[in-house]
């Protein structure tokens, strides 16, 4: 079983008008596919869904069904202005079969890094992994405590939890430490006056 649960109701109507009505009721239109006979059009409570956006595996209880379905969130659509959830895709999975998905990367121990003025820049924010659905990590920590100016950390350097295989290109850059920008010398008042006079 998953650590997170969500209830869903089956929706008969689709289209923009029906979706607007659902959102007005605090529901988000959704679709469920994967190990199912056919796609299911669903609606889920927006407030509850918001709390589960970082969850790796969810028990989705569809109305009228006796057992919840193990699912992962495959895609989310949000309004670019209001950030309101517009639609969500759930993919049903089998707990005994590995799947490929993406997991966020989180930088840790930046405060323990040498105080050399370098600027830590995260280039890659998520990574593709293959594992059993029950082993999907919520995130993978990337330790930057040992990095210095001009250092680069690549996917090959990322340490994944046991049972999790990283499938992203090992040469992709995850994080770099850039040198601080050189301060721009300010013109003296005398130099500025001379330039104006010319």
Domain boundary among 35, 67, 92: 92
* pLDDT at residue 192 is higher than 70: no
Query: Quick one: how far is CA 164 from the chain centroid?
Result: 17
- Work out the burial of residue 133: count CB atoms within 10 Å of its CB; fewer than 13 is exposed, 13-18 middle, 19 or more buried: buried
Average pLDDT, integer, range 151-177: 96
For 128, residues 6+ apart whose C-beta sits below 8 A from its C-beta are: 100, 101, 102, 103, 166, 167, 168
The predicted pLDDT at position 11 comes to: 86
Length of the chain: 198
- State the residue range of the domain holding 170: 99-178
- Same domain? 174 vs 104: yes
Whether residue 43 contacts residue 8, with contact meaning beta carbons closer than 8 Å, is answered with yes
Mind listing the pLDDT tens digit for each residue in 11-69?
876 667 777 788 888 899 999 998 766 889 999 999 999 999 888 899 999 999 999 99
pTM of the entire structure? 0.77
d(C-alpha 26, C-alpha 153), whole Å: 43
Whether residue 6 contacts residue 58, with contact meaning beta carbons closer than 8 Å, is answered with yes
- Average pLDDT in the chain: 88
Domain boundary among 92, 126, 145: 92
Domain CATH code at residue 123: 2.170.120.20
Percentage of residues in the chain having pLDDT higher than 70:
88
Domain CATH code at residue 69: 2.40.240.10
* pLDDT at residue 186 is higher than 60: no
Q: Is residue 190 part of a domain?
A: no
The torsion defined by the Cα of 16, 17, 19 and 20, in degrees rounded to 10, comes to 110
Q: Is residue 134 part of a domain?
A: yes
- Same domain? 56 vs 117: no
Q: Is residue 35 part of a domain?
A: yes
Q: Is residue 157 part of a domain?
A: yes
Main-chain phi, psi angles of 178, to 5 degrees:
-90, 150
- Same domain? 121 vs 168: yes
Q: How far is CA 28 from CA 38, 48, 50, 87, 89, in A?
A: 20, 10, 10, 6, 11
The DSSP 8-state label assigned to residue 136 in this structure reads -
Domain boundary among 33, 57, 92: 92
Any idea which of 19-23, 96-100, 139-143 has the lowest mean pLDDT?
19-23
- Same domain? 41 vs 104: no
């Amino acid at each position: 079983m998953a650590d997170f649960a969500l209830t869903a109701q089956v929706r008969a109507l689709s289209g923009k008008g029906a979706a607007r009505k659902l959102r007005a009721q605090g529901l988000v239109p959704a679709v469920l596919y994967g190990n199912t006979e056919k796609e299911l059009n669903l609606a889920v409570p927006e407030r509850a869904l918001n709390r589960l956006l970082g969850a790796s595996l969810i028990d989705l209880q569809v109305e009228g069904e006796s057992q919840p379905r193990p699912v992962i969130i495959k895609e989310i659509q949000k309004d670019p202005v209001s950030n309101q959830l517009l639609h969500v895709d759930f993919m049903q999975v089998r707990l005994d079969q590995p799947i490929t998905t993406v997991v966020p990367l989180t930088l840790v121990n930046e405060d323990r890094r040498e105080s050399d003025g370098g600027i830590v820049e995260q280039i890659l924010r998520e990574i593709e992994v293959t594992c059993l659905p029950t082993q999907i990590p919520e995130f993978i920590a990337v330790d930057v405590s040992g990095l210095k100016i001009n250092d680069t950390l690549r996917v090959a350097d990322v340490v994944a939890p046991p049972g999790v295989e990283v499938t992203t290109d090992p040469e992709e850059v995850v994080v770099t430490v850039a040198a601080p920008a050189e301060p721009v010398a300010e013109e003296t008042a005398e130099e500025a006056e001379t330039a104006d006079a010319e």
